[in-house]
Structure 1
Amino acid sequence: MDALTTAVKSSSFRLRSPSLNSVRLRRIFDLFDTNHDELITVDELSRALILLGLDTNINQLDSIIKTFIQDGNTGLTFDDFQDLHKEIDDLFFRLDDNNDSCNDDGDSKVQDRKEETDLTEAFKVFDEDGDGYISAKELQTVLMKLGFAEGNEIKRVEMMISSVDRNHDGRVDFIEFKEMMRKVIVLIR
């Protein structure tokens, strides 16, 4: 199974909250764009997928990505990246949306549950040991896997944790994580 197939079969490929999805897409784009030239090349994407533990076939990846790269560019712009994501989303999740709309009578409680589920999935990415908390070490591990320079310095990671750690226990619980994410959503709206 190749990396693209693995990614799209994941239940966390798409968040139901459009604003969370937009922020996540931008963060992913910035992670993949390792030289910060606002383009993601096939090589950058391949390296990122390998870092995430996904097998990649560079030729398949190249043929898929090539159709989304604008003429004259050497890689995906953020708009191209969004188009690629939308195409994959439409291809693999269109039926899920139809089922959701049949079950969703417009009640905000249903939307709240979906948002809660998305936040829980996002939290689990960082809470590697499943103890209900994100420690500095867990955050450092994820940052290092994603190639963030901050992951190399535990002091910087600890500062990141303390910026959201409201009860000052040295780790981030789910409630603190939700508060942080909701502030991000408000900022981008």
Structure 2
Amino acid sequence: MVHMGQEEITLTSPSRSFRLRSPSLNSLRLRRIFDMFDKNGDCMITVEEISQALNLLGLEAEVAEVDSMIRSYIRPGNEGLTYDDFMALHESIGDTFFGFVEEEKGDESDLREAFKVFDEDGDGYISASELQVVLGKLGLVEGNVIDNVQKMIVSVDTNHDGRVDFTEFKDMMRTAIVRNS
């Protein structure tokens, strides 16, 4: 459960943005994500813009669900989230999701769902090409050059098979959580 304002919302999917090791890098990455969601460049992210981005990732977010989740973070008079609102929302969801993962070590279903977003062919591995597709859907420039994507894979590929399996993905996520704590 996430407590947002007066509402309680059950998260069925984990946050799609995990914390990076450095607060300054996390802030930069969060700003880039905000700018990517802000399709019309008005420095505000609407419910529709967030829903579109989630749908591009295959997460099929209904506008009403997204609206109920973020409504308490939108300031009165605004049509969407400002960057500061987006940061507050991200922190709230991130704290809830990552706290849940740490408390419930036996329950890996949320991590498996996140892994499935990247493992597009369902073979149990994230390849460089699959990672590149997801980064491209998100509009992140890191996905434009396959060499950059392959470096990302190598950085977490502990068994050196050229792809990321669920155990490596889980270790990477938990390492990112622990280093940020």
TM-score range, shorter chain: 0.5 to 0.7
Deviation of 1:185 (Å): 0.3
**Taking structure 1 as reference, are residues 40 and 30 closer, same or farther at Cα in structure 2, changes over 3 Å only?**
farther
Normalising by structure 2, we get a TM-score of: 0.60
- In percent, how many aligned pairs have the same letter? 52
CA, structure 1 residues 46+173, in 2 after alignment: closer, same or farther (shift >3 Å)?
closer
TM-superposed deviation, 1:164: 0.7
The structure with the largest alpha-carbon Rg is 1
Unpaired runs of 5+ in structure 1?
Answer: 1-7, 88-108
Q: Could you say which structure has the greater relative contact order, defined with CA pairs below 8 angstroms and 6 or more residues apart?
A: 2
After superposition, residues 1-189 of structure 1 pair within 5 angstroms as 11-12=12-13, 14=14, 23=19, 30-34=32-36, 39-41=44-46, 44-45=49-50, 47-49=52-54, 51-52=56-57, 54=60, 68-70=73-75, 75-78=80-83, 80-81=85-86, 82-83=88-89, 111-114=104-107, 116-189=108-181
Correspondence for 2:99: none
What CA distance in whole angstroms lies between the structure 2 residues aligned with 1:55 and 1:83?
17
1:57-76 deviation line (CA, Å, top 9, x unaligned): 7xx89x87777432576741
The Cα shift of 1:132 comes to 1.2
Counterpart CA distance in 2 for 1:187 and 1:23 is 9
Displacement of 1:44 in angstroms is: 4.3
Cα contact 1:39–1:78 (8 A) shared by 2: yes
Q: Closer, same or farther in 2 for the Cα pair 1:125/1:78, shift >3 Å?
A: same
Asked if the contact 1:161–1:172 (Cα under 8 Å) also holds between the matched residues in 2, the reply is: yes
**Structure holding more helix per residue:** 1
Runs of 4+ in structure 1 off by over 6 angstroms are: 26-29, 35-38, 63-67, 84-87
> Structure 1 length as normaliser, TM-score?
0.58
Aligned length: 152
Q: In 1, Cα distance between the equivalents of 2:85 and 2:10?
A: 21
CA RMSD, aligned part only? Answer: 4.2
Letter in 2 for 1:159: K
Amino acid in the other structure paired with 2:19: V
